[in-house]
Amino acid sequence: MIEMKKETTGKLQEIDEKFDKYNENVLDIGSSRRTTVFDEERPGRPPDVVTEKIIEKVHDMILADRRTKVRELAKPVGVSTGTAINILHDKLAMKKLSARWVPRLLAVDNTRIRLLISKQYLEQFKRDPKDFLRRVVIAETWAYFEEFDKSYFWRD
């Protein structure tokens, strides 16, 4: 029994010494490495590839042709299609509507013009409602049934 106690005591002392030595090494390594809590610059590609120049190019291409596909935007600019989509949605605030890229929100000038036109229409309506409604066409759609979808056809 006494021998067992000596053996376990010796092992415990050995473990304690290793643990102390390990702690000293860890503290030395940790204190010599980091001096601030902020991230330091890392080698490699920057995290954000999108620059103002790229955003400007994409915007100009969209204004030139609003039916441009995302792949057609991404290739000449030199970004991935995912990055091109992020530029359109996040940076330029655009969405695809009926195969065209349009701004999600109206510019200040466009909003002002719409407000002025709406006020003019309201004044015309107040002056002569019958005449106003006679001139304005509301919710009328012409549908031609000759235009079939090319991917569908009738079989006998």
- The verdict on 57 and 96 lying in the same domain is yes
- Domain final position from 70, 86, 103: 103
CB 32 within 8 A of CB 24: no
Query: What percent of the chain has pLDDT above 70?
Result: 63
**Looking at the structure, do residues 1 and 29 belong to the same domain, yes or no?**
yes
Phi and psi, residue 40, nearest 5°: -95, 160
The mean per-residue pLDDT over the stretch 112-139 comes to 85
Q: Looking at the structure, tell me whether residues 27 and 70 fall in a common domain.
A: no
DSSP-assigned states of every residue in 111-123: HHHHHHHHHHHHH
pLDDT tens readout for residues 17-47 = 776 666 665 555 555 566 677 777 777 766 6
Q: What is the radius of gyration, based on Cα positions, of the chain?
A: 35
H helical segments located in the chain: 2-33, 52-64, 70-77, 81-86, 108-127, 129-135
For residues 32 and 60, membership in a common domain is answered with: no
- On the CB side of 32, how many CA atoms lie within 13 Å of its CA? 6
Ranges 7-16, 50-59, 107-116, 132-141, most confident:
50-59
Q: Does residue 62 sit within a domain?
A: yes
pLDDT of residue 68: 85
Residue 110's pLDDT is 80
Question: Looking at the structure, do residues 98 and 58 belong to the same domain, yes or no?
Answer: yes
Do 58 and 98 fall into the same domain? yes
Residue 127 domain flag: no
In a domain, 30, yes or no: yes
Q: What is the pLDDT of residues 63-79, one digit of tens each?
A: 888 888 899 999 999 89
pLDDT above 50 for 1: no
Whether the predicted model's global pTM rises above the 0.75 cut: no
The predicted pLDDT at position 123 comes to 94
Total domains in the fold of the chain: 2
**Residues 91, 56 share a domain:** yes
Residue range(s) defining the domain that contains residue 79: 52-103
Would residue 67 count as lying in a domain? yes
